[in-house]
Chain A
Amino acid sequence: MTKTRQDLAWQELEIGATLITPGNSCEYKSGDWRSIRPVVDNKKCVRCGTCYIFCPDAAIHETEEGFFEADLYYCKGCGICANECPTQAIEMVEEEE
């Protein structure tokens, strides 16, 4: 089993804590920050893509049916999508677990 960054001992870090694997910021689970999560009511959604455009983390993607949903690995729960949605199709609900 490979070690995650959380398991590395100090001797195992690259010199100067240099990162030698480019583009690894996508591994970072910014979804850990979230306390509220966007829930979309597809009955109200008009598939305009406003949420997709406004999401500051590019965490929202278009599904095959043309609706939009957030990738909760990255979604920080900022609520901008809910605020911008022209049909109030997105509700921010408390993360309870």
Chain B
Amino acid sequence: MGKRIGLEVSLSAAEAVKMANVDCIAAYPITPQTHIVEHLSELVNDGELDAEFIPVESEHSAMSVSAGASAVGARAFTCTSSQGLSLMNEIVHIVASMRLPVVMILANRSMSGPISIWNDHTDVMSIRDCGWIQVFANNGQEVFDHVLFGYKVAESQGVMLPLIINIDGFILTHVIEPIEFWEKEQVEQYLPDFEPIHTLHPDRPVTMGGVGMPYVFSEAKVAQDEPLKQSKSVIISAWKELGDIVGRYYSPIETYRSGDAETLFITQGSYGETVSLVVDELRDEGKSVGLVMDRLWRPFPFDEFREATGQTRNLIIIDRAISYGGQGGPLAIDIRSALYKEKNQPNITNFICGLAGRDVTIDDFKNIYHKAMQKVKKHPREEDFEYYGVRGK
């Protein structure tokens, strides 16, 4: 077992990137991602990590450099938040279509405006459909583990897709948590060298990212989506292998006291830990409540959600992003679709909360629970979601 130390989650994430022995780090600093990149620059400067650290002039360049590095066969890492993600948007899509296994940590922060540096999930949801594998971390240990998991999955021969690790800005990035490091031998056992299928090399000329005429574009898109869908089996086996090595077992969704629950909270990211405490307190009050935490966001774990929620009467879906003019938050929209054909459809209530870092406390989640119990009596329609705690609503 590796040593367990108290460390800021951002610094431990950088240490995990070091353990993954990346070849190229191209990033531009943006709050709340900054500490990750700062620490990586120190590790490279101090000779602890033998990698190219490229301090690019923008996030568009950060992702472009990562694409180029990955295309020549280097293991590439980048990291950003909100507006930075927007600026790199063009290349984010292209990296997926070119099947380049770049790993990115996204320190989740609101999309402006109004200008905000604080945490919610509006940034990642803006690129939900970019074709990357996307996972959410609940805590610092999961961030550390998922950096190594990220390269393992992304670089698998049948996958070869980029991967985003979502970590809540400030709530995770800036807190000190006990982190269990991996032993070097454990990393070597888990993570093989990157073996690209095609590389840019003068001796073997290829064209990557060429034009796709209408007669081939749709086929190219299916050839991109199918391996993303099929990556789920690789993801599950990579989690199993990770568990066998370090003793922490992960799954596409994680449940807490959900088996017999009449009502389930559904969360993404660090709110899972808060709500697990809420579940305990509500259980103590005699309420039949449980929790389902979504860890794998893309490919969406349809089967796992159906299995976990199929026998439940009520779902309370917590979203931290908005589909303006739509049917609530992105998580609720997907889960509603996943359950549409089910015989025993649960009552679904959807709350959008915690935007731009507004605190959502245990008492708030209890309040949400009681509101949801009132709402389900009125048979809410899909567009009847609630912005929780908004004055004047």
Asked whether, in the complex, the Cβ of A16 is within 8 Å of the Cβ of B160, the reply is yes
Q: Are A15 and B210 in contact (CB under 8 A)?
A: no
B203-218 near A? 1/0 per residue, CB < 8 Å: 0011111101001101
- C-alpha spacing A18/B220, complex, angstroms: 10
Query: Which of A8, A14, A15, A22 gathers the greatest number of chain B CB atoms within 10 Å?
Result: A15
Task: Specify which chain B residues have a CB less than 8 angstroms from the CB of A8 in the assembled complex.
Answer: 216, 219
Q: Do A10 and B223 touch (CB < 8 A)?
A: yes
Q: Which residue on B lies nearest to A4, using beta carbons?
A: B215
Contact of B219 among A10, A16, A19, A20 (CB under 8 A): A10
Give the nearest-CB partner of B216 in chain A. A5
The complex places the Cα of A14 from the Cα of B206 at a distance, in Å, of: 11
Asked if B223 and A13 sit within 8 Å, CB to CB, the answer is yes
With the chains together, A66 CA to B223 CA distance in Å?
A: 50
A69–B244 Cα distance when bound, in Å, is 71
- 1/0 per residue, CB under 8 A from B, across A1-40: the answer is 0000110111101111111101000000000000000000
- A25 CB, nearest partner CB in chain B, Å: 9
0/1 string, A49-66, CB within 8 A of B gives 1? 000000000000000000
The answer to the question of B115 belonging to the interface, with a C-beta cut-off of 8 Å to chain A, is no
Chain B binding surface, main DSSP class: loop
The distance from the CB of A60 to the nearest CB of chain B, in whole angstroms, is 24
The answer to whether A16 touches B216, judged by C-beta atoms less than 8 angstroms apart, is no
Chain B: residues with Cβ within 8 Å of the partner, total of: 22
Residue B390 lies at the interface, judged by CB distance under 8 Å to chain A: no
* Residues of chain B lying within 8 A (CB to CB) of residue A10: 218-220, 222-223, 226
Q: Are A17 and B206 in contact (CB under 8 A)?
A: no
Bound complex: CA A9 to CA B210 (Å)? 18
A9 x B219 contact (CB < 8 A): yes
Q: How far is the CA of A23 from the CA of B207 in the complex (A)?
A: 9
B198 within 8 A of A: yes
User: Which A residue's beta carbon lies closest to that of B208?
Assistant: A18
Give the docked Cα–Cα distance between A47 and B198 (Å). 48
Please tell me which one of the listed residues B97, B160, B207, B218 contacts residue A22 in the complex, with CB atoms under 8 A apart: B207
Picked from A6, A9, A15, A22, the residue with its CB within 8 Å of the CB of B198 is A15
Closest to A24 in B: B207
Interface residue tally for chain A (C-beta within 8 Å): 15
Contacts of A18 in B (CB 8 A): 98, 198, 206-208, 210
Our pick among B160, B207, B215, B226 for the contact of A5 (Cβ within 8 Å) is B215
Give bound CA distance, A16 to B98, whole Å. Answer: 4
Q: With A13-B216, A14-B198 as known contacts, state yes or no: A20 contacts B223, CB within 8 Å.
A: no
Shortest CB distance B214–A (Å)? 10
| Given known A10-B222, A10-B223, A22-B207, contact A16–B215 (CB-CB < 8 A) | no
Residue of B nearest to A17 (CB): B220
Contact A19 B206 (CB under 8 A): yes
Task: Report A9 CB to chain B, min CB distance, Å.
Answer: 7
Which residues in chain B, 187-210, are within 8 Å of chain A measured between CB atoms? 197-198, 205-210
How near does chain B come to A32, taking the closest CB pair, in angstroms?
Answer: 11
- A20 to B198: give the CA distance in the assembly, Å: 9
Shortest Cβ distance from A22 into B: residue:
B205
**Is B91 among interface residues, defined by CB-CB distance under 8 A?**
no
Q: Would you list 22 pairs from A and B whose C-beta atoms are within 8 A, ordered by A residue?
A: A6-B215, A6-B216, A9-B219, A10-B219, A10-B220, A10-B223, A10-B226, A13-B216, A13-B220, A15-B99, A15-B197, A15-B198, A16-B209, A17-B97, A17-B210, A17-B212, A18-B198, A18-B206, A18-B210, A19-B208, A20-B198, A22-B206
Sample of 5 more A-B contacts, CB < 8 Å, known A5-B216, A17-B210, A18-B98: A13-B220, A16-B98, A17-B216, A17-B220, A18-B208
